[in-house]
Amino acid sequence: MIIRDYKDTDEIGWVRCRTLSFLNTAYYDNVLNRKESYENPAIELVAELEGQIVGLMDVEYEVEEKTVCSRGEGLGGMIWHIAVHPDYYRQGIGEQLLQEAEKRAINLGLNRFEAWTRDDAWVQSWYEKMSFNKVDSYYHIYFEGNEMKNIIQSSHPKLYLVSSFAHYVGEDIEQFKNSNQRIHECVCYEKYLNNI
């Protein structure tokens, strides 16, 4: 297996790998049909094995403080995507991608990574194993049908809401739990980079 820079010709493999890796997570419906591009520079890596993309990592990074990351001081990088094809789980691919991204980030003068994820215990455990610290959180709430009653309404008489997605930054999440089927804590992890 090799860890290398992403190329435009990797896009289909990148999308397939990301989609399959997200299926067993709280982000299962966050499906992309093309690879994202970024406003700022990015470290874009893939893990390739026998011509197949089996892992990926995208880190958009700052050249001006607080333009990409939401916290910390100095220049940081936001991990937008890290994924390993499920057929290749538990082979250290995610860790190898992270190590390579860290080396490149340090060479670019970055001092930290920031990553947001949902409440999948195994994903959070991986970040903690990789020396990330939980530093913040809020909630993602999905509303469907009657769950929106008295909460989300259309002001347009001919527009009928079927579903909605919201960020909740308040303290009282319990008020939504009885009437809502899908609530996820969205957690921020941060890692300060050391010279490797």
The whole-number average pLDDT for the span 41-61 is 98
| Average pLDDT estimate for 117-145 | 95
Q: How high does pLDDT run on average in the chain?
A: 94
pTM of the model: 0.91
What pLDDT was estimated at residue 168?
95
Q: What is the pLDDT of residue 195?
A: 56
Side chain identity, residue 12: I
Residue 51 clears pLDDT 50, i.e. is over it: yes
Looking at residue 196, its pLDDT comes to: 47
Map out the domains of the chain as residue ranges: 2-135, 138-183
Mean pLDDT on 63-69: 94
Q: Give, as one character, the DSSP assignment of residue 160.
A: -
Give CA–CA dist 164/58, Å, rounded: 28
For domain 2-135, say whether CATH 3.40.50.300 is its number: no
What does the pLDDT look like over 144-182, one tens digit per residue? 988 888 888 889 999 989 999 999 999 899 988 877 789
Between strands 76-84 and 112-117, the pairing is: parallel
Phi, psi of 132 (to 5 degrees): -85, 150
Alpha-helix runs per DSSP H in 39-173: 93-107, 121-129
